[in-house]
Chains A and B, each alone.
Chain A
């Protein structure tokens, strides 16, 4: 937990572009909320690797959203069930189901579909909100946070030093 917090501070306080950080968070939302071993996550991973997304932000947020997924799963299952059984979409899903590729994506699984729908729906909001927060944090709060005792404690911790060395 302490490590995560230190990592977050490190990322937020770095000179990384807010867009790269927020995109990392947004992609992490998809990977974290949906079942990890899914074909679409390979695409997400590819994008994360190829686009200049902040990897630290991505992996940190992935851990966070994976924990969140345990809470969201029941809702995701309901959403997936509703989406996959929606009569107006049956033709579309049936067409997709004819393809082995789309079957390989497991799109017809209620948890995967529900969590993916939630993740995609939240993608843009998370991207924009997190960018807004990062920008405002850096402009208004970073100096104040730097002075906080807890920040100093974290920065003084062995873990932070090791992390800094590794990051460098």
Chain B
């Protein structure tokens, strides 16, 4: 047996193993440092620098000193600086290439510290930023542009509010009015028909002409004919007059027709015009008053920009951290493809059910205290891995802060669940007792002079979509304004009566461009106060508007009434003229033969009478002689 044992071999084996371990010990630390710097820079898009890496064996662990991660957007600033990181490694998994860290703690964690040299990567090395990242981060100029674009709706909203109570004259000048439109239509119709009626009426005989006709008719039909020639002359004149009457009657008919058409059309325009002031008035009153419609978006106007800015910052950091924690769909697809290739050429790992599944990389517990300007925050992250399907545990994040400047309490819980089924990132935020001082609301010179705010919010990000809602409760709020405008004064006076209010915000849609809604009981409260204080002014405005609209209507009305009067008069005249002409036309010229017969009969009657009188005289003489 003894001859089969090679003691020198045992020594050789031991020495070889010791040399390998020693080499690894000395080489590993620089290799790890290089890996962190190279891979970290690639992931962060900016320089990642490590001061030193130390390894320990009992227990197996790694200590990383002085990590600076530059901010890709601000190369002269560090996104994060960590003085010291200590991680306890599990040995056995490390032998199979799995980095399992039981516990990792960090100290001296600071954000936004200045750098002495730029942290930007050389351009050719810089990976093209993803569209989403560009939108979320962007250069300062882009940010400014984006901010100004975001502020545009606010400006227009503010402008809209500022215009709530302008003068009646301004409103009437600015707004398209049906009164004016219909008035102009009426005027045009009037001008058109006036011309037409006048030309028709001009052809109608006037009163003097009719008198002349009467005179002529009388001279023709009255009196005895001197002789036959006289009769024929009169007859000729009489026929000529009758022809004239016929033409005049036709002219009168045409004039009457033109008058009727004109009157009808003008009446239609008039009816529309008469209804216009009422419709205009209602429309203007609906638009120019601080009722529920006008005041409903006031909270969005006052607090929208701030809420938007906070959300933008949160998404900015989320976008930065997310790729480091969870794999993108492209990476998953790439890995699956790689796995397929590996399966064909090199076999595969067969997984079995286990109580202790182990991914390639897993930080079971990470804790650190971050130093912010406002104070310290305690951050705890559990189960950091890019293979959550193996651990079957989502990444759980907790951020806590007490006495952070004006904030009494801050708590953020996050669950990044990418286990393969219904992947989503969910967050819950609660902020207690934020002391707010001199917050510029950016409208009407308004400032939230001071207030206490408590906030709670929750959100879910799923497949690039966000669904979030939150509520901020403001208490002991006082406002101030330096503006002297009526709106500023009214708003300030109204806000002074509202010490507590809630602002509810919800966001839904694409993660980087969600549809944001904001409502508040402040709107209702303001509406109530506005309704009271502005009621009188509203009434004044309404009265002024009504008056001005009536004046406008009157301008058209006067013209119309005068025209209508003259048209009616004209209509009457035409009827008279028509009547008279008809009467004149009925006049008949006596027959000459008949007149001669009458003359002879008259002469015969005269002779008979004369003879009768002579006979009577004779009879009287005879009777006298008898007695």
Given A100-B90, A104-B93, verify A50-B352 contact (CB < 8 Å): no
Q: Is the interface of A mostly helix, strand, loop or mixed?
A: helix
Binds A, one of B9-17, B318-326, B447-455: B9-17
Measured between beta carbons, the chain A residues less than 8 angstroms from B4 are 51-52
Please tell me if A77 contacts chain B, counting CB pairs below 8 Å.
Answer: yes
Given A77-B347, A109-B347, A110-B347, verify A103-B358 contact (CB < 8 Å): yes
Mask of B104-123 contacts with A, CB within 8 angstroms, 1/0: 00000000000000000000
Specify the chain A residue showing the minimal Cβ separation from B17: A42
Complex CA–CA separation, A45 to B9 (angstroms):
10
- Whether A104 pairs with B95 at a CB distance below 8 angstroms is yes
Complex CA–CA separation, A83 to B454 (angstroms):
62
Complex CA–CA separation, A46 to B16 (angstroms):
10
Please tell me if B355 contacts chain A, counting CB pairs below 8 Å.
Answer: yes
Complex CA–CA separation, A98 to B93 (angstroms):
12
Tell me how far the C-beta of A41 lies from the nearest C-beta in chain B, rounded to whole angstroms.
13
Please tell me if A85 contacts chain B, counting CB pairs below 8 Å.
Answer: yes
- Whether A90 pairs with B352 at a CB distance below 8 angstroms is yes
Please tell me if B626 contacts chain A, counting CB pairs below 8 Å.
Answer: no
Please tell me if B562 contacts chain A, counting CB pairs below 8 Å.
Answer: no
Q: For chains A and B in complex, what number of residue pairs have CB atoms within 8 angstroms?
A: 78
Given A108-B351, A110-B347, A112-B347, verify A103-B3 contact (CB < 8 Å): no
> Using a CB-CB cutoff of 8 Å, which residues 293-347 of chain B contact chain A?
346-347
Specify the chain B residue showing the minimal Cβ separation from A85: B350
Tell me how far the C-beta of A90 lies from the nearest C-beta in chain B, rounded to whole angstroms.
7
- Whether A49 pairs with B96 at a CB distance below 8 angstroms is no
Given A46-B13, A98-B354, verify A103-B96 contact (CB < 8 Å): yes
Specify the chain B residue showing the minimal Cβ separation from A110: B347
Please tell me if A157 contacts chain B, counting CB pairs below 8 Å.
Answer: no
Complex CA–CA separation, A31 to B353 (angstroms):
29
Please tell me if A28 contacts chain B, counting CB pairs below 8 Å.
Answer: no
Tell which of B6, B92, B352 touches A101, judged by Cβ atoms closer than 8 Å: B92
- Whether B5 pairs with A51 at a CB distance below 8 angstroms is yes
Specify the chain A residue showing the minimal Cβ separation from B350: A84
Measured between beta carbons, the chain A residues less than 8 angstroms from B93 are 100, 103-104
Specify the chain B residue showing the minimal Cβ separation from A80: B347
Tell me how far the C-beta of A73 lies from the nearest C-beta in chain B, rounded to whole angstroms.
8
Interface residues on chain A, size class: 20 to 34
Q: How many residues of B contact A (CB 8 A)?
A: 25
Tell me how far the C-beta of B338 lies from the nearest C-beta in chain A, rounded to whole angstroms.
16
- Whether A49 pairs with B6 at a CB distance below 8 angstroms is yes
Complex CA–CA separation, A109 to B348 (angstroms):
5
Please tell me if B174 contacts chain A, counting CB pairs below 8 Å.
Answer: no
> Using a CB-CB cutoff of 8 Å, which residues 67-103 of chain B contact chain A?
90, 92-93, 95-96
Given A52-B5, A104-B95, A112-B347, verify A45-B354 contact (CB < 8 Å): no
Please tell me if A5 contacts chain B, counting CB pairs below 8 Å.
Answer: no
Tell me how far the C-beta of A102 lies from the nearest C-beta in chain B, rounded to whole angstroms.
9
Complex CA–CA separation, A84 to B352 (angstroms):
10
> Using a CB-CB cutoff of 8 Å, which residues 370-404 of chain B contact chain A?
none
Measured between beta carbons, the chain A residues less than 8 angstroms from B92 are 100-101, 103-104
Please tell me if B349 contacts chain A, counting CB pairs below 8 Å.
Answer: yes
Please tell me if B356 contacts chain A, counting CB pairs below 8 Å.
Answer: yes
Q: Which residues of B contact A (CB under 8 A)?
A: 3-6, 9-10, 12-13, 90, 92-93, 95-96, 346-356, 358
Cross-chain pairs A/B with CB under 8 angstroms, 23 sampled: A49-B12, A50-B6, A50-B9, A51-B6, A52-B4, A52-B6, A73-B346, A73-B347, A77-B346, A94-B354, A97-B354, A100-B93, A100-B356, A101-B92, A103-B93, A103-B96, A103-B358, A104-B93, A104-B96, A106-B349, A108-B351, A110-B347, A110-B349
A-B contact sample (8 more), CB < 8 A, given A97-B353, A111-B346: A50-B13, A51-B4, A85-B350, A94-B352, A97-B352, A98-B356, A104-B93, A106-B96
